[in-house]
Amino acid sequence: MVDIVQVIKDRDPNEREFHQAVGEVMESVAPVIEQHPEYRRARIIERIVEPDRVIMFRVPWVDDKGDVQVNRGFRVEMNNAIGPYKGGLRFHPSVNLSILKFLGFEQVFKNALTTLPMGGGKGGSDFDPKGKSDNEVMRFCQSFMAELFRYIGPNTDVPAGDIGVGAREIGYLFGMYKKLTNEFTGVLTGKSVNWGGSLMRPEATGYGSVYFAAEMLNSRNQTLEGKVCLVSGSGNVAQFTTEKLIELGAKVVTLSDSSGSIYDEEGIDREKLEFVKILKNIRRGRIGEYVDIYPNAVYTAITPEMEYNPLWDHRADCAFPSATQNEINGKDAQNLVNNGVALISEGANMPTAPEGVDIFMDNGILYGPGKAANAGGVSVSGLEMTQNSMRLSWTREEVDNRLQMIMRSIHKTCTEAAEQYGKPGNYVAGANIAGFIKVVNAMLDHGVV
């Protein structure tokens, strides 16, 4: 079998995150490829690691002082074997091709698990929305869409939100798309409910991650009630993960942002969560301000020299990493295990570095990888596309029921695929294998294209 990780390292030596994501999937699917000579003959592996298309463009805009700023925009259209490209847009200074290729690659398999017909893509920009005025964000979004609109469409490629892209940005992007094309279509998901959005889309990733955790616990006859939980991040995914955990009787004791984390031993209740939502979504403040209002909580700043993140070093039962990639290194994973954490449900994409994954596996942790655990977000995006096509909107209850059904189905699919390939209880193997088989069989059906 071709050593595809070596091939992509030789070809694009700087794409560290992409190498990591491909390496993990390839390790899981090696036994599948072993059993399928037709995959090797059709060079499926060589084809699946190469994006269908990468679009890269200049995004010039004018800031409030009247100065011209220039950012870089991207859309990676990774694979459309089972449906139109689908996946979020990330606006963050760290965004580069490696990160978007890793996210696009993960998205292909994640979307295949959802039961809905969606291919995989990802895009974004190195634009940093922090500290920008609403008008600056609007002008940036308009310039970004002035180029992206040529490549997307409701049956071609349907972007959504991710880090730094929420309801405000989706609004500005949609407004510009509508103006340029003179069409009102479901070209983006995560829209506001009064102009084509789906109820429950904002909640879907966080709620879905908790539903997946509940399914994993159920396999050991346990529930979330009374469990002490560590949540990282304080954005969309972290907020709604916390909300659902509170509803199910768990106690959330941490939240964070890129500057540091808070530990509230008494638990973050509904009122405190409401404060966090206003702080982060409306005032766009920092999580450190939590301790000004709730002085019994402790804030710890994080610095680049730190070898481990103090957030993962508290006694707890479950952890929900919901900020960003590689936020749990080997030392963090060992701290989690030493502190009694027995379940990890990844709201973020690839939050655990490979050394950490090995530690979770060696310790029999219930470990739900991002492409399974956080698939609730893109699933409800898929349901938003369905509602847009039908020109109607479902109730909150209807969407939530479908989300729960999808998360149960993903759990079952992962469990069965893992068992079939001799890896019972290994959700990483199960998710990678099940997603991979669905996509590559479609690619085989379509011939060499």
Phi, psi for 114 (deg, rounded to 5): -70, -10
Site string for ligand 2IT, 38-67 (x = CB under 6 A): ------------------------------
347 binds, among ligand 2IT, ligand NDP, none (CB under 5 to 8 A by kind): ligand NDP
CA trace torsion 10, 15, 17, 18 (10° rounding) = -60
Q: How big is the chain by its Cα radius of gyration, in Å?
A: 21
Name the site residues for ligand NDP (rule: CB under 6 A): 92, 161-164, 166, 205, 233-238, 257-259, 322-324, 347-349, 374, 377
Tell me whether residue 187 or residue 443 sits nearer to ligand NDP (CB atom). 187
Does residue number 378 form part of the binding site for ligand 2IT (CB under 6 A)?
yes
Please, what is the angle between helix 236-247 and helix 270-277, to 10°?
170
Residue pair 140/173 in contact (Cβ under 8 Å)? The answer is no
Task: Name the catalytic one among 122, 227, 280, 438.
Answer: 122
The reply to whether 125 sits near ligand 2IT by the rule CB under 6 A is: no
Of the residues 104, 208, 233, 377, which one makes contact with ligand 2IT according to CB under 6 A:
377
Min dist CB 409 to ligand 2IT, Å, is: 17
Residues 332-351 touching ligand 2IT, rule: CB under 6 A, are 349
> From ligand NDP, ligand 2IT, none, which one binds at residue 86 (CB under 5 to 8 Å depending on kind)?
ligand 2IT
Query: What's the closest the beta carbon of residue 130 comes to ligand NDP, in angstroms?
Result: 7
Q: How many CA atoms lie within 13 A of 52 on its CB side?
A: 20
- Give the nearer residue to ligand NDP in terms of CB position, either 198 or 421: 198
CB of 83 to ligand NDP, least distance (A): 17
The single residue among 51, 73, 83, 88 that binds ligand 2IT, judged by CB under 6 A, is 88
User: How many residues touch ligand 2IT (CB under 6 A)?
Assistant: 11
The pairing of strands 68-79 and 120-125 is: antiparallel
Other CB atoms within 10 Å distance of the CB of residue 179: 12
Give Cβ neighbours of residue 411 (< 8 Å, ≥ 6 apart). Answer: 212, 215, 216, 372
Tell me the residue number closest to ligand NDP, measured at CB. 235
Burial of residue 10 (number of CB atoms within 10 Å: 0-12, 13-18, 19+): exposed
Cα–Cα distance measured from residue 157 to residue 289, given in angstroms and rounded to the nearest whole number: 39
Q: Nearest distance from residue 387's CB to ligand 2IT, in Å?
A: 14
Name the minimum Å distance from CB 127 to ligand NDP: 13
* Spatial separation of the C-alpha atoms in residues 205 and 236, rounded to whole Å: 8
Q: 348 is in the binding site of which of ligand 2IT, ligand NDP, none (Cβ under 5 to 8 A by kind)?
A: ligand NDP
- Indicate which single residue of 87, 233, 368, 430 sits in contact with ligand 2IT (rule: CB under 6 A): 87
Q: What element of type H or E holds 60?
A: strand 53-62
Kindly tell me which of 89 and 437 has the beta carbon lying closer to ligand 2IT: 89
What single letter denotes the amino acid at residue 91? F
Q: Which of 76, 145, 160, 319 binds ligand 2IT (CB under 6 A)?
A: 160
When binding is defined by CB under 6 A, the residue of 86, 191, 331, 438 that contacts ligand 2IT is: 86
- Asked if 122 is an active-site residue, the reply is yes
170 or 297: whose CB is closer to ligand 2IT?
A: 170
How distant, in Å, are the alpha carbons of 144, 145, 209, 223, 241 from that of 89? 11, 11, 20, 34, 21
Distance CA(195)–CA(142), nearest Å, equals 18
Degrees (nearest 5) of the Cα angle 206, 91, 301?
70
The residues pairing with 160 across neighbouring beta strands, listed in sequence order, are 88
Q: How far, CA to CA in Å, does 284 sit from each of 208, 278, 281, 379? A: 25, 8, 5, 27
Q: Compute the distance between CA of residue 54 and CA of residue 74 in angstroms, rounded to an integer.
A: 7
Nearer to ligand 2IT, 86 or 244 (CB): 86
In the bound state with ligand NDP, the residue whose beta carbon lies nearer, of 242 and 374, is 374
Q: Decide which of ligand 2IT, ligand NDP, none touches 114; Cβ closer than 5 to 8 Å per partner kind.
A: none
Give the catalytic positions in this structure. 122
Residues that bind ligand 2IT (CB under 6 A): 86-88, 107, 160, 162, 189, 349, 377-378, 381
